[in-house]
Amino acid sequence: MFRFDQLPCPALVTDGAGVVESLNHSLLQLIGSDETRWIANSMELMFPMASRIFLQTYVWPMIFRDGHVREVRLELREASGKNVPIFVNCQKSSDQGTDRFIWVLFVTIERSLFEQELLESKQRSEAISDALTKSERFIRTVADGLPSLVAYWDTQLVCRFANKTYFEWFGKTPEEMVGLTMPAVVGDSLFQQNLPFVNGALAGNYQQFERAMDKPGGSVRYTLTDYIPDKDVTGTVKGFFALVTNITRLREADAAIRLSASVFEAATEGIMVTDTASNIVSVNPAFSALTGYSANEIVGQNARILKSGRHDDAFFGAMFHKLQADRFWKGEVWSKRKNGTTYLEQLSISAICDEGGSVLQYVGVFSDITEKWDKEQLVLHMALHDGLTGLPNRTLLMERLGQLIAIARREPRSVALMFLDLDGFKRVNDTLGHATGDEVLKTVAIRLSGLLRNSDTVARLGGDEFVILLNNSESSERIAQIGARVIAVLNERMQFGGVQAHVGASVGVAEFQGGTDSAERLLKRADDAMYAAKAAGKNVVRFAN
């Protein structure tokens, strides 16, 4: 295997991953150990951490892009453990489809002596000058292309080199910048803040720190600064490189994340984050307060643990379909707390997608609206029910009657109304008082409700008038039997403490006849039949014509 032993300077060959295939005697003398220590190992082991980072970040990308790199300054760790400044040259070589990389290293002191010797020769000076000019131009191009601020400060803290980003940051030209001292460039205040790190770098120690810097113009930028000592072969510090990276966007993103986390924690609405399989990955404190589940108990569980059982599969299928189509769903859902009680929540679910539109997670935000719903139901109940007896009122009766008539027009079905007027109720009010009268009306409501099926409706229209809506009764004979039972039950005496009351009932019946028979007309016919029952002597049932 080719070892480059004919070259007086260190050299090696690697593959595209930096794994050593061959190295020469000159390099082995410099880094110590024998060839077996390095073959099949990464060349990065020869370099200190700062140089490794520079290799990965800048050197390899340039090689893969251009096929070569020239005069890149790095440090090599020699056998004694000291870091030796070097210049690195690399050339990509392809042989039968296999890429190899040939690295030639120059120790900077040796290189400087060699260049001086060449410069003393007039015959070769022009070639060397041209090569150095190209090398410097290449280094300058690379440095100016970096988004970070790069500068070199000597031991007197005089700027010897700075890239374009550095010039632009401080609003200076290269001519103004190079030769200035660090305090003159960054200002006394920032210099005093950085001085401990400057002293650390001049003492030969790598430094890294973050800083908020005032940029000319008044804006504030956040930076990550690296001070990398520059040492010669004897370990003497000649200066240091300053690498300043603008991390303002990163810090702003961190601030946004912290703000989001604060909102997440402080929100009064419950928040639940799930993966695409509905497994819970995160909840906020309000979620725990509303459901009774702590974060430790619920994270990792499937969201189905919150199901109340009051919604069928079709409900959740429609929810999922809308989420897939619109990436958003909003509605009311009955859910179950840890203690088993159910509650109604106002829930909105949003899909979190990647740049390609694929769903990564779902975020559900909900609030408990059970109390609001209870109040709305109470208002609705009051609007549709009698305040004294709790029975449906005229509005609800007519709504249900209209629905049954609509069904009866489409399919075979009987619909009948019983109109009841209490006989003797005025006498109860006049002799026993209105309070007893109210108790009589409530007792009548209870007795009538106990006689009928769930599909039938008992309503109070007002005063002592009640209506029974019979849904699909068997026959007129059956209706007459029900009417007789109603009269018998209502004629039973009522006892309220030491007071007795007695009422009867006159019952009028109207059956739906189809055609133009409407809810209002059916009620009018039943009312007329009730008056016919009263005229017949009361406590009787009469059917409308």
Residue 85's nearest CA partner among 114, 45, 112, 58 is 112
Whole-number mean pLDDT of the chain?
Answer: 84
Q: Tell me what pLDDT residue 112 has.
A: 46
- H/E stretch holding 521: helix 519-535
Sheet holding 280-283, edge to edge: 280-283, 270-275, 359-368, 342-353, 328-336
Q: What is the DSSP letter of 203?
A: T
Q: Torsions phi, psi of 324, nearest 5?
A: -65, -40
Q: Tell me what pLDDT residue 338 has.
A: 93
| CA dist 437 → 136, 430, 490, 505 (Å) | 111, 9, 14, 15
CA–CA distance, 469 with 459 (Å, rounded to integer): 8
Residues contacting 476, CB < 8 A, separation 6+: 511, 543
Q: Residue 254's CB: how many other CB atoms inside 10 A? A: 12
Written as one letter, the residue type at 146 is L
pLDDT tens-digit profile of 376-415? 877 887 888 888 999 999 989 999 999 998 888 888 888 9
* Pair 490, 505: CB distance under 8 Å: yes
Task: Please report, rounded to a whole number, the percentage of residues in the chain having pLDDT higher than 90.
Answer: 35
Task: Please report, rounded to a whole number, the percentage of residues in the chain having pLDDT higher than 70.
Answer: 88
CA–CA distance, 494 with 439 (Å, rounded to integer): 9
CA–CA distance, 27 with 32 (Å, rounded to integer): 8
In the three-class reduction of DSSP (H, G, I as helix; E, B as strand; rest coil), residue 78 is classed as coil
Q: Which two tokens stand for residue 340?
A: 């088993």
Q: Tell me what pLDDT residue 444 has.
A: 94
* Pair 468, 445: CB distance under 8 Å: no
| CA dist 327 → 111, 277, 279, 282, 356 (Å) | 64, 15, 18, 19, 14
Alpha-carbon Rg for the chain in angstroms: 47
Which residue bears the tokens 């000319």?
216
* Bridge partners for 14 per DSSP: 20, 101
Residue 10's nearest CA partner among 213, 24, 21, 331 is 24
Looking at per-residue pLDDT, the higher value among 452 and 130 belongs to 452
CA–CA distance, 375 with 361 (Å, rounded to integer): 35
First to last CA, the chain: 120
* Pair 187, 170: CB distance under 8 Å: no
Handedness of CA 441, 442, 445, 447 (dihedral sign): negative
pLDDT tens-digit profile of 71-119? 788 888 888 888 888 888 888 887 777 888 888 888 865 444 444 444 4
pLDDT tens-digit profile of 170-187? 778 777 778 889 998 888
Looking at per-residue pLDDT, the higher value among 374 and 202 belongs to 202
pLDDT at 248 over 60: yes
Which residue bears the tokens 């400087």?
112
SS3 of the chain: helix, strand, coil, percent, to 5 = 45, 30, 25
* Pair 144, 50: CB distance under 8 Å: no
Q: What is the DSSP letter of 340?
A: S
* Pair 35, 41: CB distance under 8 Å: no
pLDDT tens-digit profile of 339-379? 999 999 999 999 988 888 888 899 999 999 888 888 887 78
Residues contacting 427, CB < 8 A, separation 6+: none
pLDDT at 419 over 90: yes
